[in-house]
Amino acid sequence: MFCDGFGMSEVSPLQQSAPWVRLETTDADWDAADPGLLATMFAELVLIRSFEEFVLQLAGEGLIHGPAHSSIGQEGGAVGSALPLVTQDTVNGTHRGHHQFLAKVLTHLAPGGIDPTQPVSPEIREALLRTLAEICGLDRGWSHGRGGSMHLRWDEAGAIGTNAIVGGGVPLAAGSAWAHRHAGTDNVAVTYFGDGASNIGSTLETFNLAAAWRLPLCFFIENNRYAVSTNVSEVTAEDRLSARGPGFGIPSWQVDGMDPLAVYLAMQQALEYMRAGKGATLIEADVYRYFHQNGPFPGSAFRYRTKEEEAQWRARDPIDRVAGHLVRRGILSEDAITEAIDRSRALMAEIGEVLLEPVPDGKPGERRIRPSEWPDPGFVDTGIRGDLSEFDGVRTVDRDTFTGAVQEMKFIDAVAAVMGRRMELDSSVVVLGEDIHRLSGGTNGATKGLKDAHPDRILGTPISENAFTGLAGGMAMDGRFRPVVEFMYADFMWVAADQLFNQIGKARHMFGGDHPVPVVLRSKVAMGTGYGSQHSMDPAGVFSTSAGWRIVAPSTPFDYVGLMNAALTCQDPVLVLEHVDLYASSGEGPVDDYDYCLPVGKAAVRRQGADVTVLTYLAMTSYVLEAAEQVADHIDAEVIDLRWLDRASIDWDTIEASIRKTNNVLIAEQGALGTGYGGWLADEIQRRYFDWLDQPVQRVTGGMASPSISKVLERAAFARAEEAVAGLEAMGVGTDA
Amino acid sequence: MPELLRMPEVAAGATSALLSSWSVPVDAEYASGSVIAVIETDKAVVDMEAEAPGRILRTLVAEGTEVAVGDPIAVTAAPGEQVDDLDAAVAALGAASTAAPAAPASEPDVSPSPAAPAGSGTPAPPTAAAGSGRIFISPIARKRANEAGIDVTAIVGTGPNGRIRRRDVEAAIAAGGTRPAASPSAPAATATPSATEPGFVDIPHTRLRRAIATRLTESVTTAPHFYVKGSARVDRLMELRAEINAGEDVKVSVNDLLVKAMARAHSLVPAMNVIWTEDHVRQFSGVDIAIAVATDTGLVTPVLRGVEALSVTQIARASRDLAERARSGQLRQHELEGGTTSISNLGMYGTEEFTAIINPPHSSILAVGAARPEPVVVGDSIVPATVLRVILSVDHRPVDGAIAAQWMREFTVLLESPGRILA
């Protein structure tokens, strides 16, 4: 009871709705534990410890390129939490994730347990070999060496990928959890992260989102007390990190991570809660990494902690603890314990021989990677995107081959209609975004009628773009659902930038090229609405810098239907650009056929011309056509609506044919120069078609700065027909009559 | 007091001329107005007349020598004037003191006179960036020029920074290509095939060839051309011509009628009867039209004057006279000067249509193709008709497209209502 000095008010304590508890084992727990469970726990701890020791040994020999984030000392949290999981449960983690990955993989490969007195199975040996190869950057690794230590992924085992961005994997795990729940399973997702990631937005946003949507997601905090060298008490007022859970309505457990059985028991309780469909959980396991952030030296060598502190934690080593109980209960002898450790170390040495060889003419004991183990450098850019084989057999038409009836229709109606049609035929399509479930189809009517028809698949989100974008990314990588994210304004991509560009845009390539990321992002361009500097950008230019993304920009209702269907067919992330000017516009669209795809990578020549090729897209297309008619008496402009904007999908055939004809190129876009789209395109054009150009590639763009609120300043800041006319006139092409 | 006789600037802008022959012997007295020398300019042979009575003491250049304008060609004295020491007098005048005739231009070791530094009469080839040697040219323009074998150093670009653009090269191609003028110091080429490099012959430039090259290059590089096409049914014109010729001993050609029609059109659209000068657009009252005449040595364009006032028979007679004298090299310089437009007719070769390069300082030139039978839509039916196609090249500096289009409309209407040509 608090009382203030004036004594007038009545103050009474409030209780958080979600419980926050500390779980500690008793001797009774240890006595009751299944001998097989304890033996398996021991076997996994020892295998992981030996693996990590071997990694540090290779790091010391200079054989690990990049960081080797050792988990030695922290194995108890991972093993204790992974043991009660089934294969279909999913886990991800952060940069220090070897132990989490291996614990999940070992449990997957040995669901019945591992006998520490026996050699490991060939499958486990193979998994250890591939994991080591990945950490060494070798072709044999899970991702052909692209991911390395920080990006370990083996979907089959339920290990959906560790992450080098602190907190970056947390929203992705929420997507996996969403898929578990909405696929009707009782599986769960576990996302491992540390004290450092407990303060970052992605994590905190996801706490809220997962709790709000009751996702079966366990936030597993390995509180090892140090973010590199910064102590947890320096960066948060509440260093009992499990205290955060109840603030978001998440039941939370604090356990001693050096006690694997305590972790196991806490996880059992959390699983019971999650598998019952009650929602997210949080477990904070206090652990300690014996070494520095990376490499084979202790943290005390870097003077941010003491040797005494390290000695205290080492005295509570999880392997010793489990081994002690195994001996105490007579499950394993001391010799068996020692033999198991020796056998595990010998296994790693043997595995190392597969990957390593003595340096020819080198010093005694000097080793190197066997040359045959390296990936082929030619593999460098393979698998940034998919091969589009998903379009095999898909009905693809363009306007000139479309045989269905067409009608004049409102653009926004085509947006809602094609999404409705897809959701009706494909129960995996899920749309999520802010306010899309209310206001009769969101702020612009793009989801009109869809919430009533598909209440479980039109998801109004909290205002946390990073979390719900990442959640969609996780859903896409899971594969059972096909998420469509709506950004109310394109500028919000900066808010979600980590998920869009570090995660979604890179995931396929980073994990080896074979894992699709079929997420669709609908993003509205709103320049001209008076929403000012932070709501008026055209995101095409920024997205075109991210190699994994495809970008479509429909300028007619007919194209919107075909491009949205193509986006929803594609196995890559696709940005579908929308524009407020187009929403309100009318144009040709289908009457009743909402099932066709436009061909991938095909532009549309909207106007034939001889003097100059104008490359444009989205709402600017109609402005450019307007401009072309205004100057038609002396400039014969060819107007190409690019439709597919990304580097991989752009229609070079159409562009080239036009440039060979006109020898002059004008790239016309509405938005600010700095984030503009045309820069890369101009660069590519001058290199591809230098000998066909009669002048530099010219551009029409908005101003330097993002548009302002003031109506006249806003108009001055972006381009429309007037600017296109000026751009055409300035080129000095055409006849001078 | 002896005086130097200098090479006159025979034609405006000429930088040099050929001393073709001396018309009076040394020391022979001549009267004022006597022809004392014959000078060959770009397109004509000009008689050099004495401004005052006198005699030639010494010639300083031999016949057949190319001389820069203003350079001394002879030393003269008044009739009866005694000159004791001619060498000293010549030296005092600052001319070469040698009594020997100057070597012909074809010999490379010609000694330059002090007043005429070597090469002073040779204009620098026009370049996009004069002096720097750097030519700004767009990639496609360079590609086109290479494909067409066009020498880009002779093209002046119309783009930013004088950049040669595609249109500039295409204009040069339309002009038949431009090649760099041969270096004036280069030895004269021989028409004899080289023993070591068979497969081609080098035909030395005639003066006329070089003049054509220079003037037309100047035209396409300084006068921005645009082109207006027109066509007319000329069946009635042909009938009119037959009627005229039935009663005359001078036969009127189609071309004569076209020249008359051009004059009529110029009178109706006076804005076409202009030339561009540095400071103003000069508009003429009378219509002077140059007629392109193909000769064995090349194209010449004598000018018919006051065509608006001439009857077609007079035009026919004057045209024939000019053409005949053009072919025999007998045109006077003044007959090659003036005019605002030209007519070039390749119809006799069956050429359907072509574009022509404007002859400076004209503002236009009409390129005339062959009158050919063609199907023509009249109302709802197709009828046979004799159709003439013309393309007017126009200098955009003094004349805009609408004016040219207006002119073309008047011109083609005249051809289809030929009685009005004679009105």
Facing residue for A735 by CB, picked from B140, B165, B226:
B226
Q: Is there a single domain that holds both residue A47 and residue A194?
A: yes
One domain, residues A186 and A306: yes
Domain ranges of chain B: 3-93, 123-185+204-222, 224-422
Residue A522 β-bridge partners: A486, A576
Which residues are A189's β-sheet partners? Answer: A90, A217
Chain B partners of A663 at a C-beta cutoff of 8 Å?
138, 140, 166
**Does A263 lie in the same domain as A181?**
yes
Amino acid letter, B22: W
Count of residues making up chain A? 737
Helix (H) or strand (E) holding A438: none
Mutation pick from A612, A658, A663, A692 vs chain B, by most beta carbons of B within 10 Å, is A663
Within A236-333, residue ranges assigned H as helices are 244-247, 260-275, 307-314, 318-328
A125 within domain boundaries? no
CB atoms within 10 A of CB A712: 8
What is the model's pLDDT at position B103? Answer: 41
Q: Are residues A103 and A181 in the same domain?
A: yes
Q: For residues A227 and B65, which has the higher predicted lDDT (pLDDT)?
A: A227
Chains A and B form CB pairs within 8 A to the count of: 37
CA–CA min distance A376, chain B (Å): 38
CB-CB under 8 Å, A737 with B401: yes
Nearest to A736 among B140, B166, B401 (CB): B401
The whole-number pLDDT of residue B100 equals: 43
Q: Which pLDDT score, from 0 to 100, does residue B130 have?
A: 42
Neighbours of B327 (CB within 10 A): 15
What would you report as the CA-atom Rg of chain B, rounded to the nearest whole angstrom?
25
Establish if A661 belongs to a structural domain: yes
CB contact under 8 A, B402 and A737: yes
Query: What tokens appear for B364 in the block?
Result: 């236009």
Q: Which of A286, A324, A327 is nearest to A24 (CA)?
A: A286
B166·A694 Cβ contact <8 A:
yes
The rounded distance, in Å, linking the Cα atoms of A63 and A59 is: 5
Catalytic residue among B205, B225, B334, B396: B396
Give the distance from residue A502's alpha carbon to the nearest chain B alpha carbon, in angstroms.
Answer: 40
Contact B154, B179 (CB under 8 A): yes
Instruction: State the average pLDDT over residues B411-419.
Output: 92
Is B266 marked active-site?
no
pLDDT of residue B116: 39
Query: Measured between alpha carbons, how far apart are the two ends of chain A, in Å?
Result: 90
Q: Which domain CATH number covers A442?
A: 3.40.50.970
Cβ separation A736–B224 shorter than 8 A = yes
pLDDT at A115 over 80: yes
Residue in A515, A436, A366 with CA at minimum distance from that of residue A60: A366
The residue type of A319 is I
Please list every residue in chain B whose beta carbon sits closer than 8 Å to the beta carbon of residue A737. 226, 400-402, 405
8 Å CB contact between A575 and A552: yes
Q: Determine the residue type at B170.
A: E
User: What is the model's pLDDT at position B65?
Assistant: 84
Q: Which of B136, B137, B140 to mutate to test the interface with A (most CBs of A within 10 A)?
A: B140
The residues pairing with B19 across neighbouring beta strands, listed in sequence order, are: B39, B65
For A646, counting Cβ atoms within 10 Å of its Cβ (0-12 exposed, 13-18 middle, 19+ buried), the class is: buried
Instruction: Please tell me the distance in Å from B404's CA to the nearest CA on chain A.
Output: 10
Sign of the Cα torsion B311, B317, B320, B325 reads negative
Alpha-carbon gap, residue B260 to A355, rounded angstroms: 97
pLDDT at B125: 38
Q: Which residues of A touch B396 (CB under 8 A)?
A: 736
Distance (Å, whole) CA B298 – CA A121: 98
Amino acid B110: pLDDT: 38
DSSP B194-238: PSSSTT--PPPPPHHHHHHHHHHHHHHHHS-EEEEEEEEE-HHHH
Nearest C-alpha in A relative to B165: A694
Angle at A588 between CA A582 and CA A589, to 5 degrees: 95
Are residues A558 and A633 located together in one domain of the fold? no
CA atoms within 13 A on the CB side of A84: 24
Contact between A253 and A244 (Cβ < 8 Å): no
> What type of residue sits at position A697?
V
Residues A577 and A688 in one domain: no
Residue with the bigger pLDDT between A734 and A269: it is A269
pLDDT band at A456 (very low <50, low <70, confident <90, very high): very high
| Claim to verify: residue A245 and residue A295 sit in the same structural domain | yes
Residues of B in contact with A695 (CB under 8 A): 138, 159-160, 163, 165
In contact, B303 and B339? CB cutoff 8 Å: yes
Weakest mean pLDDT among A450-464, B51-65, B135-149: B51-65
CA distance B227 to chain A (A): 10
Residues A677 and A701: their CA atoms lie apart, in Å, by 9
| Residues of the domain holding A617 | 604-730
Residue of B166, B226, B400 lying closest to A663 (CB–CB): B166
CA distance B168 to B162: 11
| Structural tokens at position A144 | 């052909």
d(CA B193, CA B203): 10
Tell me how far apart the alpha carbons of residues A458 and A419 are, in angstroms, rounded to a whole number. Answer: 11
For residue A705, give the nearest of A714, A697, A693 by alpha carbon: A714
pLDDT at residue A63 tops 90: yes
DSSP string covering A240-259, please? -GGGHHHHTT--EEEEETT-
Per-residue pLDDT at B423: 76
- pLDDT tens digits, A688-735: 999 899 999 999 999 999 999 999 999 999 999 999 999 999 998 988
Select B224-422's CATH number: 3.30.559.10, 1.10.10.60, 3.30.450.20, 1.10.150.20: 3.30.559.10
Residue range A161-176: average pLDDT? 97
Contact between chains at A737 and B165 (C-beta distance less than 8 A): no
On whether the CB atoms of residues B156 and B162 are closer than 8 A, the answer is: yes
pLDDT digits (tens, 9 = 90+) for B11-63: 666 678 888 888 888 888 888 888 888 888 766 677 788 878 888 888 888 88
CATH number of B123-185+204-222: 4.10.320.10
Buried b (16+ CB within 10 A) or exposed e, A588-605: ebbeebbbbbbbbbbbbe
Q: Which residues of B touch A (CB under 8 A)?
A: 138-143, 159-160, 163, 165-166, 224, 226, 396, 400-402, 405
Q: How confident is the model at residue B177 (pLDDT cuts 50, 70, 90)?
A: low
| Separation between Cα atoms, residue A330 and residue A411, nearest integer Å | 75
Residues B172, B178 contacting (CB under 8 angstroms): yes
What confidence score (pLDDT) does residue A6 get?
Answer: 62
Of B139, B396, B405, the CB nearest to A693: B139
3-state secondary structure A35-74: HHHHHHHHHHHHHHHHHHHHHHHHHHCCCCCCCCCCCCCC
CATH of span B3-93: 2.40.50.100
- Taking the C-alpha atoms of residue B271 and residue A183, their distance in angstroms, rounded to an integer, is 83
Least confident interval from A428-437, A629-638, B186-195: B186-195
pLDDT of residue B211: 80
φ/ψ of A238, rounded to 5, equals -115, 95
pLDDT band for A154, please (50, 70, 90 cuts).
very high
The tokens of B120 are what? 């002073």
Residue B133 scores a pLDDT above 70: no
Identify from A694, A695, A698, A729 which residue to disrupt to test chain B contact, counting B C-beta atoms within 10 A and taking the largest count.
Answer: A694
Instruction: Give the mean pLDDT of A486-500.
Output: 97
Residues A299, A224: one domain? Answer: yes
According to DSSP, the residues that pair with B59 across neighbouring strands are B74
Residues with Cβ within 8 Å of residue B420, at least 6 apart in sequence: B264, B413, B414
Comparing B199 with A721, the larger pLDDT belongs to A721
Q: d(Cα B299, Cα B219) in Å, to the nearest integer?
A: 15
Strand partners, B283: B274
Is A165 a member of any domain?
A: yes
Give the tens place of pLDDT for each residue, B85-128: 888 877 777 765 444 444 444 443 434 344 433 334 434 434 34
| Same domain as A480, residue A619 | no
* Residue A461 belongs to some domain of the structure: yes
How many domains, chain A?
3
User: Residue A682 is which amino acid?
Assistant: A
CA-to-CA distance for A92 and A101, rounded, in angstroms?
Answer: 8
List the structure tokens of A262. 């305590």
Same domain for A558 and A609, yes or no, is no
Which residues of A lie closer than 8 Å to B, measured between beta carbons?
663, 690-695, 732, 735-737
Residues A96-103, mean pLDDT to the nearest whole number? 97
Angle (deg, nearest 10), helices A465-478 and A201-212: 70
DSSP annotation of A372 reads: G
Chain A: give the shortest CA distance to residue B221, in Å: 16
Nearest CB partner across the interface for A694, out of B140, B396, B401: B140
Q: What percent of chain A has pLDDT over 70?
A: 99
| Minimum Cα–Cα distance from A686: chain B residue | B139
Residue A246: phi and psi, rounded to 5, are -60, -30
Final residue belonging to a domain, choices A329, A347, A369: A329
Q: What value does the mean pLDDT take over residues A5-16?
A: 84
The verdict on residue A472 lying in a domain is yes
Residues above pLDDT 90, as percent of chain A: 95
**Region label for B339, one of left (φ > 0), alpha (ψ between -120 and 50) or beta (otherwise):** left
Residue A108 lies in a domain: yes
CB contact under 8 A, A737 and B159: no
Binning pLDDT at 50, 70 and 90, where does residue A2 land? Answer: low
* Encoded tokens for B37: 């020398």
- Say what the pLDDT of residue A290 is: 95
Contact B140 A735 (CB under 8 A): no
Alpha-carbon distance B144 to nearest alpha carbon in chain A (angstroms): 9
Indicate whether B186 pLDDT > 70.
no
Under 8 Å CB-to-CB from A555, ≥6 apart: which residues? A582, A617, A618, A619, A621, A622, A641, A643
Q: Mean pLDDT, to the nearest integer, of A326-339?
A: 97
Give the DSSP H or E segment for B373. Answer: strand B372-378
Q: Do domains B3-93 and B123-185+204-222 have the same CATH topology?
A: no
What's the pLDDT at B51?
79
Nearest-neighbour CA in chain B from A664: distance (Å): 10
Q: Which of A285, A300, A329 is the last residue of a domain?
A: A329
Q: Is residue A363 part of a domain?
A: no
A263 pLDDT more than 80: yes
Which chain B residues have a beta carbon less than 8 Å from that of A692? 139-140, 143
For residue A571, is it within any domain?
yes
Domain stop point among A308, A329, A350: A329
Coil vs helix vs strand at A158: coil
Interface mutation target, options B136, B144, B166, B394, chain A, most CBs of A under 10 Å: B166
> How far is CA A164 from its chain centroid?
11
A314 and A258 inside one domain: yes
Query: What is the predicted pLDDT for the residue at A30?
Result: 97
Q: Is the peptide bond before B2 cis (omega within 30 degrees of 0)?
A: no
Are A612 and A586 part of one and the same domain?
Answer: no
Which CATH number characterizes residue A711's domain? 3.40.50.920
